[in-house]
Amino acid sequence: MLNGKNILLAITGSIAAYKSAFIIRELIKRGANVKVVMTEASCEFITPLTLSTLSKNPVLKDFVKDSASGVWNNHVDLGMWADLMLIAPATANTLAKLVTGHADTFLLATYLSARCPVFVAPAMDLDMFKHSSTQDNLTALAARKVSIIEPEFGELASGLHGEGRLAEPENIAQYLHDYFLDLATLKGKKIIISAGPTYEKIDPVRFIGNHSSGKMGFALAKIAAQRGADVVLVSGPVALETPTGVQRKDVTSAAEMLAQVDQEYSSADVVIMAAAVADYTVLSPATQKIKKKGANLDLKLKKTTDILHYLGLNKQKQILVGFALETENEIGNAEKKLKDKNLDAIVLNSLNSKGAGFGTDTNQVSIIQKDNKITSFELKHKNDVANDVLDVVENLL
């Protein structure tokens, strides 16, 4: 379950910091991608060079990378990169600062920027761990949905025996594995997701297309795979990396997208059509580049096959979800599309919403279901929107 996951390991100033090398090894053995952030104090116990060598990524601990050139380390991007943030070892001092929202280190600022689940593995002496201040801080973090990996019983640096010892690296890795396993709520389900634009050929050089970046469809594929689904991603021409665990099929035209989706349709449990498919294609594309001849170029277009309508007509057991990008009468147009194309749900987004639409990392949507139930969401990162859409899909299933 850790294969392909992006895990951000944050290391604080505990003697147990030396175990972070073994944590990295365990995570990488299980297929995870690991990046490391450190506090200055943690460098007293293990070197950044050791951890960068093991993780195969530079270790970050400062806001400023090069003051002379003004290059800085972007804690926001790092927080968005991670599928999970693990703070191990977490000292009593760090726990207190996590609760109060301090951002006086690169590690703490990254924590405040993280959109992903956060796990904390405390490590300290017995009396420090049992102190009411520490316990209150752990309770506060748990109330904010930070997961606590409880320390283990054993010999402590002070010479005492008791609770406070950092959980063993293999136990931490297993804890994270089990967390993702619990999220595999779509295990055994086959989901087809379309993404991106289609390009309709005019001649060997030119095409009719649109501004779709494919980011929403790829976010859906990523989150569906993380939930354990067998994902087939049918993508138009985009410059995006295939999410881990996803089977990708590249197409160019609307006709090619229909053919690929139809090929997989009978065995699918869910189809989510997030692609911006062209409504028209060129009637007779030129075989050679069209040369400039006059003031105008007239193209004859014909309608493409409406993929959503086709899938709705031929639906058997599948859950079918469409997308609607509207600029006017948004709810009315989306509800009509939901009914006319026999969809189970439709995701409505608007070009009138700032931060939504083509090419952005965020989106603002409303999800309309067959019973006319409308759920509207605030502006979110597309990964979070994907979670909202897939929550609806799971309820429909």
Q: Provide the annotated active-site residues.
A: 210
Q: Are 220 and 274 in contact (CB under 8 A)?
A: yes
What are the φ and ψ backbone dihedral angles of 22, each rounded to 5 degrees?
Answer: -75, -30
Written as six digits, the tokens of 245 are: 């665990």
Report the alpha-carbon distance of residue 335 to residue 376 in Å, rounded.
14
Half-sphere exposure of 134 (CA within 13 A, CB side): 21
Which alpha helices (H) appear in 163-318, and where do they start and end? 169-182, 215-226, 254-265, 307-313
What are the φ and ψ backbone dihedral angles of 29, each rounded to 5 degrees?
Answer: -60, -30
Length of the chain in terms of residues written:
397
Q: Are 75 and 99 in contact (CB under 8 A)?
A: no
Q: What is the largest CA-CA distance in the chain?
A: 90
Which alpha helices (H) appear in 167-306, and where do they start and end? 169-182, 215-226, 254-265
Q: Are 222 and 291 in contact (CB under 8 A)?
A: no
Report the alpha-carbon distance of residue 266 to residue 319 in Å, rounded.
12
Place of tokens 């999220």: 183
- Residue 296: CB atoms within 10 A of its CB come to 5
The alpha-carbon radius of gyration of the chain (Å, integer) is: 25
Task: Give the contacts of 332 (CB within 8 A, at least 6 positions apart).
Answer: none
Report the alpha-carbon distance of residue 113 to residue 28 in Å, rounded.
24
Nearest alpha carbon to residue 75 among 111, 104, 23, 45: 111
Q: What do you get for the CA distance between the two ends of the chain, in Å?
A: 23
